[in-house]
């Protein structure tokens, strides 16, 4: 068995369509409920709208392509967790999330690191769905099935940082500053992208470790 190729055929139809997938239906219902609750009276409505623009785009792509490609429940669960973390950040604004403020005070940090945590989670939680997409849809194998998700995360992270910077220039300056959430750190964008990369490497490493132990890709249920 080669180190990069999955032990099972990547074209195996592991995805169960939404209409018969109770697990996916539950995830969508829970997310819709929590997202709606967190959308009520956010700290900054303008920042909330900006933060959720990319969420609308991501969910729209998933819905529009669902008939052609269905992720495994594992990947949907990972995407679900990331979207929930983002929903919390958009409600409070990332620099004022209570959990981050508590950690800042408890550990004596100079800033609220919740935004850094979510950038790390972006790579950790979306790295494997991108690998599954590479294997099953793009039919990328061997080492490239690890390289492509890493490059995708880096590309998406850099695009997000660019969009943040333009939002800060175009919209109201106060809203733009809250949206960027740099909190005075001139290297904020570079650190965010580095954490996303680290999260991706850990996710892919864990997936490969499990594949070697079980003999099949994690998205293939035994």
Domain ranges of the chain: 18-214
Q: Which one, of 77, 56, 91, lies nearest residue 125 by Cα?
A: 77
**CA 58, 48, 22 angle in degrees (round to 5)?**
45
Q: CA–CA separation, 186 vs 209, rounded Å?
A: 37
Please tell me the predicted confidence (pLDDT) of residue 8. Answer: 41
For residue 145, give both structure tokens. Answer: 């099935």
pLDDT given at position 177: 58
Average pLDDT for the chain: 86
Element of type H or E holding 72: none
In the 8-state DSSP scheme, what is residue 69? -
Structural tokens at position 147: 């390289």
Check residue 152 and give its pLDDT. 96
pLDDT band at 95 (very low <50, low <70, confident <90, very high): confident
CB 179 within 8 A of CB 50: yes
pTM for this prediction: 0.86
**What's the pLDDT tens digit per position in 14-68?**
788 899 999 999 999 999 999 999 999 999 888 888 888 888 989 999 999 998 9
Residue 168: predicted pLDDT: 65
Q: Flag the least confident range among 128-132, 155-159, 174-178.
A: 174-178
Instruction: State the CB neighbour count (10 A cutoff) for residue 35.
Output: 18
Q: Locate 198 and state its tokens.
A: 């680290």
pLDDT in tens, 106-116: 999 888 999 99
């Amino acid at each position: 068995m080669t180190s990069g190729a999955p032990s099972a055929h990547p074209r195996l139809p592991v995805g169960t369509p939404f209409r018969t997938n109770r697990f996916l239906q539950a995830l969508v219902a829970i997310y819709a409920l929590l997202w709606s609750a967190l959308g009520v009276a956010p700290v900054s409505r303008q920042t909330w709208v900006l933060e959720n623009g990319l969420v609308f785009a991501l969910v729209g792509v998933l819905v529009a392509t669902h008939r052609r490609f269905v992720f495994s429940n594992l990947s949907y669960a990972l995407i679900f967790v990331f979207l929930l973390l983002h929903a919390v950040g958009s409600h409070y604004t990332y620099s004022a999330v209570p959990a981050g403020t508590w950690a800042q005070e408890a550990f004596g940090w100079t800033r609220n690191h919740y935004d850094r945590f979510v950038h790390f989670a972006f790579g950790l939680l979306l790295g494997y769905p991108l690998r599954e997409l590479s294997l099953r849809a793009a039919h990328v194998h061997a080492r490239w099935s690890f390289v492509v998700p890493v490059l995708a995360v880096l590309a998406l992270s850099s695009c997000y940082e660019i969009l943040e910077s333009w939002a800060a220039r175009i919209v109201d300056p106060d809203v733009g500053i809250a949206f960027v959430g740099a909190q005075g750190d001139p290297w904020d964008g570079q650190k965010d992208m580095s954490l996303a990369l680290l999260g991706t490497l850990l996710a892919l490493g864990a997936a490969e470790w499990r594949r070697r132990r079980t003999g099949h890709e994690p998205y293939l249920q035994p």
